[in-house]
Structure 1
């Protein structure tokens, strides 16, 4: 069952609202005091900007027994929240090992919010990411969105608003969130103890999304991507067989590899068009690949389309790819692009 309580997530929002969400938070407070919040609120925006943190903050505030401009932090509800055992709150998300939210999860949510709140004045459910609900799950949620029982709130999170079914979108009020300005993002990340130069690089690698940059640094993603590049270089030079390179790539999350590979091909296209290296996301990788040239732009665009389509399928939860076969296919497509420049050694 892909439904959890806040035990694993409450620590993220026991403090203040993220700096770049202060105005959004103030507007939510004002709206709730004057006309109340909608029963279904959809938080949209790119990955790593704090959508989930804000959703958790809203949930804690709505459940608080003595709320003001924030949850009081002292009432019985806030104490249960801090312990990760609030009976009036749940999160619906894909089950472990799955990329989809299935109908059983939504049925559980529907049953949950049809009950009377045990502690607070309302019940709150977060569903994330809403775009990966399969058709049956989405249909099961529609009636609840149309006629929410009692005092219940549904907070839906999505990175790809356009991929959410129109029937779901039309029954929610949208709250659009954006990445902070570069200066604020850098200020926040360096305040966590990251050196300025490293923080600037991490933000650049993560589309200026501060939380994504923080996770990228803590997860040693840079070292992992360097390993992917080393394997790609070996394959490009012919110094490693297809099986070895594919095995090396297949040890990692497929979506992460596809995203990185797509970004790299975009930088290769920019380099072909004489874009300065300081404007490339993976400039060092492009430099290391500079002993090879792309045969033509059409083949590169074809590979990019394949990567983009695959990534969309992975993000929607609709992918049924054999990881090894897909990786091998992408590597063969890449090999077909390359010719060694004259005068370059293998």
Structure 2
């Protein structure tokens, strides 16, 4: 996995530390989704496992060849099992089994855990024991988009690498190398919080069209042109977290514009303009609505959600229509 162009500074710092006193056994890599956390962790892992001890993985030794083949015995990724949103104790036990063994090929073992903020209590306790007394030849690379949701006991035992979105020009240049025009790149970055990898996925996956459909259906429901059950049933068939995240971003944009923030700082500027041309907004109800969305989204991202999707969407849509007022362009306190 190659480094992304905007990661050269972080990489140089890691190399200096490794060549000096050495890297700590546990690194917590934090930052927004879509800016390259996982790519950086993969690059670090291959480098640490390489047997030639250079400033980067050599790509030629037996370790690098096994890595490229996807069969390195001294490396695993620990993440939620398919169909689950949580890292459970069995996942952490597999980590402990690996790192308390003698390395088979390399001079160490490397584990990537992602996202570390979705561990349940038993898994977190099992990991803490390993972090407190790490084996001599092991490295744990922990990824998170939500640093504040990582248990303090885990945060305190790791050294943090905080990644930020790249400069706009760097993102546009990189997207251009992927065949994306400047105008499309600007739009995609705006819709995806300036995260270039997420922007590229948004362009290639059809999410843009899906979000436009959600906006259109929301407007139709708001006007009374589309039945509640039809909207709820359609949205409930989709990835629930994606729907809630979109609804949260849209409500955040409405709060911004109601506070006088320019449209250029909105993720869904066009949708906000269209809604504003048809309806006014009760700002206090909007604040409560956004808080509810934030709570639901946090539960979904932590893996602790047990919502009935259709019922939850119906309730949210009913509350949404209650915060609309008849006069367009108006914001009511």
Verify: 1:271 aligned to 2:226, yes or no: no
Q: Contact 1:258/1:311 (CA < 8 Å) preserved in 2?
A: yes
Deviations 1:130-167 (A, max 9, x none): 00001110000111111112301000001111110111
Indicate which of 288, 292, 309 corresponds to 1:323. 309
Query: Counterpart of 1:43?
Result: 29
Query: Counterpart of 1:217?
Result: 203
CA distance in 2, matches of 1:210, 1:319: 29
Indicate which of 64, 80, 84 corresponds to 2:70. 84
Query: Counterpart of 1:187?
Result: 173
After TM superposition, the structure 1 = structure 2 runs for residues 55-74 of structure 1, keeping only pairs within 5 Å, are 55-74=41-60
Q: Give aligned pairs, total.
A: 328
Query: Counterpart of 1:156?
Result: 142
Query: Counterpart of 1:127?
Result: 113
Gaps spanning 5+ residues in structure 1: where? 1-12
Indicate which of 255, 259, 269 corresponds to 2:241. 255
More moved, 210-219 vs 286-295: 286-295
Indicate which of 185, 193, 206 corresponds to 1:199. 185
CA distance in 2, matches of 1:168, 1:280: 34
Verify: 1:24 aligned to 2:16, yes or no: no
CA distance in 2, matches of 1:32, 1:280: 41
| Counterparts in 2 of 1:237 and 1:24: CA distance versus 1, 3 Å | same
Structure 2 length-normalised TM:
0.95
Query: Counterpart of 2:19?
Result: 33
Q: Contact 2:286/2:323 (CA < 8 Å) preserved in 1?
A: yes
Structure 1 residue 270, shift from structure 2 partner: 2.9
| Counterparts in 2 of 1:75 and 1:49: CA distance versus 1, 3 Å | same
Structure 1 residue 277, shift from structure 2 partner: 3.2
Structure 1 residue 119, shift from structure 2 partner: 0.6
CA distance in 2, matches of 1:97, 1:267: 32
Query: Counterpart of 1:178?
Result: 164
Structure 1 residue 282, shift from structure 2 partner: 1.3
CA distance in 1, matches of 2:252, 2:78: 35
Indicate which of 7, 29, 39 corresponds to 1:53. 39
Deviations 1:91-132 (A, max 9, x none): 000111111000011011111111111111100000000000
Q: Contact 1:236/1:335 (CA < 8 Å) preserved in 2?
A: yes
Indicate which of 85, 105, 115 corresponds to 2:91. 105
CA distance in 2, matches of 1:296, 1:137: 43
Q: Contact 1:292/1:338 (CA < 8 Å) preserved in 2?
A: no
Structure 1 residue 271, shift from structure 2 partner: 3.2
Query: Counterpart of 2:331?
Result: none
> What CA RMSD, in Å, does the superposition of the two structures yield over aligned residues?
1.3
Secondary structure, in 3 states, of the residue corresponding to 1:41? strand
Structure 1 residue 67, shift from structure 2 partner: 3.3
Query: Counterpart of 2:226?
Result: 240
Q: Contact 1:73/1:79 (CA < 8 Å) preserved in 2?
A: yes
Q: Contact 1:262/1:304 (CA < 8 Å) preserved in 2?
A: yes
Secondary structure, in 3 states, of the residue corresponding to 1:222? helix
CA distance in 2, matches of 1:174, 1:26: 16
Secondary structure, in 3 states, of the residue corresponding to 2:143? strand
Structure 1 length-normalised TM:
0.92
Runs (4+) of structure 1 exceeding 6 A deviation are none
CA distance in 2, matches of 1:292, 1:271: 15
Indicate which of 270, 292, 300 corresponds to 2:278. 292
Structure 1 residue 65, shift from structure 2 partner: 1.1
